[in-house]
């Protein structure tokens, strides 16, 4: 993730707050629970980016592709695979990416970890356009479909950057042209840019995002971001050493 620090995650509950979103029983709901949130934030270990300065994926041996509605990034000989569930509008997903994306990029480049991204869209309802998350999923799929892992890594990094991510309930978000420009800036081909601009994968993205949401509900995780490794939910927000714990 870029080196800009994420704002302090201090949380003040409000009657209509949606800053900490859970998925319970397969349904996206807003939970206002100061004690739970406070516990997570107190154990998060700060917001400094791990391996700051490494950047995004850069090893030409790393591959990216679509796999059953998810996006798999890693070397074919990766020692371990994690499942990462996120929504492009989820602020805590952005926090996780800010803190660990460079650390993950190095682990991916080294062949220690492959990441299967399940990009969800349950926060569409809180976007200005009403479908931002789905359009972001579609855009990510267009980039992944190109097969260029370095480009996907840069695009994904920017998508969840605090400089890019629309706020929940805000009066604006990114249209397809803006998403396409993010991809172009990451090095995407004209074909990929056109795929995003035209919304080519919108229908499939909606199907895949819903399938991912349903799958998340079976993992034991209560919301996004969620990291699953070998069937176990990893405390990715509470344990700052979770990547190194997996790598060993």
CATH number of the domain residue 157 falls in:
3.40.30.10
| Residue 14 within any structural domain of the chain | no
| Residue 89 within any structural domain of the chain | yes
| Residue 59 within any structural domain of the chain | yes
| Residue 222 within any structural domain of the chain | yes
Per-residue pLDDT of the chain (248 residues; tens, 9 = 90+): 443 333 333 222 222 223 334 443 333 333 322 223 333 333 334 578 999 999 999 999 999 999 999 999 999 999 999 999 999 999 999 999 999 999 999 999 999 999 999 999 999 999 999 999 999 999 999 999 999 999 999 999 999 999 999 999 999 999 999 999 999 999 999 999 999 999 999 999 999 999 999 999 999 999 999 999 999 999 999 999 999 999 98
**Residue 66's pLDDT is what?**
98
pTM (2 d.p.): 0.84
**Residue 46's pLDDT is what?**
57
Look up the domain containing 155 and give its range: 21-247
**Residue 195's pLDDT is what?**
98
The CA distance from 147 to 13, in Å, is: 42
The CA distance from 90 to 80, in Å, is: 26
| Residue 12 within any structural domain of the chain | no
**Residue 32's pLDDT is what?**
27
The CA distance from 27 to 177, in Å, is: 31
Say how many domains are in the chain.
Answer: 1
| Residue 92 within any structural domain of the chain | yes
**Residue 47's pLDDT is what?**
72
Exposed/middle/buried for 128, CB within 10 Å: 0-12, 13-18, 19+? middle
| Residue 100 within any structural domain of the chain | yes
| Residue 9 within any structural domain of the chain | no
User: How many Cα atoms occupy the beta-carbon half-sphere of 168 within 13 Å?
Assistant: 20
Contact assessment for residue 114 and residue 72, using Cβ atoms and an 8 Å cutoff? yes
For residue 23, the surrounding DSSP H or E stretch is strand 21-24
Q: Can you read off the two tokens belonging to residue 167?
A: 């706020």
């Amino acid at each position: 993730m870029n080196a800009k620090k994420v704002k302090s995650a201090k949380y003040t509950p409000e009657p209509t707050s949606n800053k900490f979103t859970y998925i319970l029983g397969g349904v996206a709901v807003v939970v206002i629970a100061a004690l739970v949130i406070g516990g997570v934030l107190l154990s998060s270990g700060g917001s400094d980016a791990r391996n700051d300065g490494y950047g995004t994926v850069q090893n030409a041996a790393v591959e990216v592709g679509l796999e059953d509605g998810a996006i798999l990034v890693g070397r074919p000989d990766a020692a371990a695979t994690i499942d990462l569930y996120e929504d492009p509008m989820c602020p805590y997903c952005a926090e996780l990416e800010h803190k660990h994306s460079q650390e993950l990029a190095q682990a991916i480049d080294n062949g220690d970890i492959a990441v299967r991204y399940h990009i969800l869209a349950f926060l569409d309802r809180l976007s200005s356009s009403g479908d931002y998350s789905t359009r972001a999923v579609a855009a990510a799929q267009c980039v992944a479909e190109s097969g260029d892992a370095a480009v996907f890594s840069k695009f994904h990094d920017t998508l969840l950057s605090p400089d890019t991510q629309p706020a929940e309930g805000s009066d604006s978000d990114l249209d397809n042209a803006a998403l396409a420009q993010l991809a172009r800036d990451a090095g995407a081909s004209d074909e990929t840019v056109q795929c995003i601009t035209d919304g080519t994968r919108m229908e499939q993205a909606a199907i895949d995002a819903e399938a991912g949401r349903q799958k998340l509900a079976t993992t034991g995780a209560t919301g996004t971001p969620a990291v699953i490794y070998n069937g176990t939910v990893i405390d990715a927000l509470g344990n700052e050493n979770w990547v190194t714990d997996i790598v060993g």
